[in-house]
Amino acid sequence: MKSSDSHMGLIDRYLSGQATSEETAQLESRMMEDPQLRADFLAYARLDVALPEAMGGNPALAEVQATPLPQRSWKRWVPTAIAAVLMIGAIVTNAMWSKRGTDHPNESLTVAQFGELKDCRWVVSDARISSGDEIKIGQRIELSSGSAEVLFHTGARLTIVGPAIIEPRSENSGFLTLGEVYLVAETPESKGFTIETPVSKFIDIGTAFTATVSPDGLSRLEVSEGEVDVVLDGMEPKRLRRGETIYVEPGEQQILTRIESGDGTPDFRFPTIEPPSRDDYADQASGKATIRVARGELKTSPRQSGSGPASILLDGMGQPKQDAPRQSAFFQTGQKGSFIVDLGQSINLTKINSYSWHQHYLIEEHRERAQQRFTLYGYAGDELPDLSQPPNEAGWTRLARVNSDQFFRVNERLDRPAQQACSITAAQGSLGRYRYLLWKVNRNTFFGEFDVFGAP
């Protein structure tokens, strides 16, 4: 550093959060005049911010012995709510570590090798990777496109679909920063194979699952065979079985979204989500909550094909039949809209369920209005924010994003369940305290019921 010791000392005090206002003013005044001091300041700040990564990502410093590296605690990421997209931040340095890792082959254990590679393009464009190449603990695999098979020595078989970033963390685990991986773990040694994401940990109990992390941090788990435990900070593992899927939102609340298809009867029976309730906080019988349309218009029609009123969503019941517009609430064709529930006061929310049902009587595949596609927001204050503003700019807190077509991987119209329920909960038990809930709805869904659980 070319700047004087006293100036560097000031910089250190500023970046350590110790500088007084006088010292900050002094540093600012010097920096305004001295380009060298600004350059040294920026370099020192870059060093400060690079050190945690260097410490975590550098095998030499992690005291690697003959045993696998201790896994970086996934919990460490949770309190700081680091989304996957921020994890991309680790790519630069770790990509470099990875590249240089080949200079120090004894510093980490080989735990897997590449299997079949299909049309692979790598983030590091000059990467030369072939089937059979060994993979070490901590070695980042950064795939731009194509798919790559990673064969763990335990027998676990991971298929990575680009764009994706993943690194083995031990002989039987990997950290998925971004993208989609499909795991098959059929051997006894591979039982318990774990995929960590920035917000969760998926532990294989049975045989196969798909884990996905989207660029903004939303994690998704879909169990195709056997069972998988979802582990989140501060909660008992949640076991998912074949055919079940769950989303985990990034953020401190660790919000979980579960969507299920129903039995297609007025009983609204689902595998784990309970039927519409008359005992929730917002139920109209309690008189505590009200609902109205905040944006858009419910479909009106002189015939029976128009929507029922918004209040139908708090009546404790789903629709009585598969195509019941009057007992549903839905927006004008082609329109988006939003519903607001006013709970009367801020309450501690624990669960929010929504139910939809639609299938044309004659045309089986006509189920468009069963799809649940909405973003749910909460607002704690007593005065409603400006509803003409986008919710995130007006002070609403986004709780969950729901897209059931994506969830059910709907390619054909018949892939879409006609009766659906979505349940939004939080790993820690509480979704937060809110008075208002805003459903920003992107489809003309036939909603039958919203249930809001919580207590003041």
Shortest Å, Cβ 205 to other proteins: 27
The β-bridge relationship of strands 173-184 and 194-197 is parallel
Q: Which of 37, 64, 69, 83 binds other proteins (CB under 8 A)?
A: 83
Cβ 172 vs Cβ 56: under 8 Å: no
- Candidates 17, 188, 302, 390; binder of other proteins (CB under 8 A) is 17
Q: Taking CB under 8 A as the rule, does residue 4 contact other proteins?
A: no
Contact 349, 289 (CB under 8 A): no
Does position 302 bind other proteins by CB under 8 A?
Answer: no
CB nearer to other proteins: give 56 or 206: 56
Considering the complex, what minimum distance in angstroms separates the CB of residue 48 from other proteins?
6
Distance, CA of 371 to CA of 368 (rounded, Å): 6
Cα distance between residue 206 and residue 368, in whole Å: 34
Output 55 or 387, the one with its CB closest to other proteins.
Answer: 55
Among 68, 114, 147, 162, binds other proteins (CB under 8 A): 162
Instruction: Give me the residue label for tokens 């939102």.
Output: 249
Q: How far is the CB of 145 from other proteins (least distance, A)?
A: 6
Residue 31 found at the interface with other proteins (CB under 8 A): yes
* 69 part of the interface to other proteins, by CB under 8 A: no
Q: Residue 317 in contact with residue 448, Cβ under 8 Å?
A: yes
Please report where in the chains the tokens 């005065």 appear, as a residue: 383
Q: How far apart are CA 4 and CA 362, in angstroms?
A: 83
Q: Is 88 in the site for other proteins (CB under 8 A)?
A: yes
Picking from 281, 258, 271, the residue whose alpha carbon sits closest to that of residue 423 is 258
Q: Is 381 in the site for other proteins (CB under 8 A)?
A: no
Residue 86 engages other proteins in binding (rule: CB under 8 A): yes
Cβ 84 vs Cβ 175: under 8 Å: no
18 binds other proteins (CB under 8 A): yes
> Considering beta carbons, is residue 39 or 317 the nearer one to other proteins?
39
At its nearest, how many Å lie between other proteins and the CB of residue 402? 18
Give the contact letters, 39-58, x = binds to other proteins (CB under 8 A), - = no.
xxxxxxxxxxxxxxxxx--x
- The residue among 9 and 266 lying less far from other proteins, judged by its C-beta, is 9
Q: Are 228 and 245 in contact (CB under 8 A)?
A: no
Is residue 441 near other proteins by the rule CB under 8 A? no
414 near other proteins, rule: CB under 8 A: no
Before 59, cis peptide (omega within 30)? no
16 scored as a contact of other proteins (CB under 8 A) = yes
11 or 343: CB nearest other proteins: 11
Q: With binding defined as CB under 8 A, does residue 118 bind other proteins?
A: no
Which residue among 6, 32, 102, 272 contacts other proteins (CB under 8 A)? Answer: 32
End-to-end CA distance of the chain: 57
- How many residues touch other proteins under the rule CB under 8 A: the total is 68
Q: With respect to other proteins, which residue has the nearer C-beta, 28 or 267?
A: 28
d(CA 434, CA 246): 24
> Which residue stretch of 31-39, 200-208, 322-330, 366-374 sits at the interface with other proteins (rule: CB under 8 A)?
31-39
Would you count residue 14 as binding other proteins (CB under 8 A)?
A: yes
| Helical axes 35-57 vs 89-101, angle rounded to 10° | 60
Residue 30 or 288: which CB sits closer to other proteins? 30
- Triad 239, 240, 245: Cα angle to 5°: 145
Rg, Å, the chain Cα set = 26
Residues forming a β-bridge with 175: 167, 196
* Among positions 6, 61, 133, 409, the unique one binding other proteins when judged by CB under 8 A: 61
Task: Measure the CA–CA gap between 74 and 152, rounded to whole angstroms.
Answer: 21
Q: Exactly one of 110, 113, 144, 224 binds other proteins (CB under 8 A); which one?
A: 144
Taking CB under 8 A as the criterion, the residue among 20, 301, 345, 389 binding other proteins is: 20
Toward other proteins, which CB reaches closer, 1 or 324? Answer: 1
Kindly state the helix (H) or strand (E) to which residue 118 belongs, with its residue range.
strand 110-122
Name the phi and psi angles at 409, rounded to 5.
50, 60
Looking at 103-231, list the stretches that DSSP marks H as alpha helix, in order from N- to C-terminal side. Answer: none
Torsion-angle region of residue 137: left (phi > 0), alpha (psi -120 to 50) or beta? beta
Residues 174-193 that bind other proteins (CB under 8 A): 178, 180
Q: d(Cα 449, Cα 445) in Å, to the nearest integer?
A: 12
The span from the CA of 444 to the CA of 329, in Å, is 9
Residues 215-234 that bind other proteins (CB under 8 A): 215-217
Positions touching other proteins (CB under 8 A) are: 1, 8-9, 12-21, 23-24, 28, 31-32, 35, 38-55, 58, 60-61, 73, 76, 80-83, 85-86, 88-89, 91-93, 95-97, 100, 121, 123, 144-145, 162-163, 178, 180, 215-217
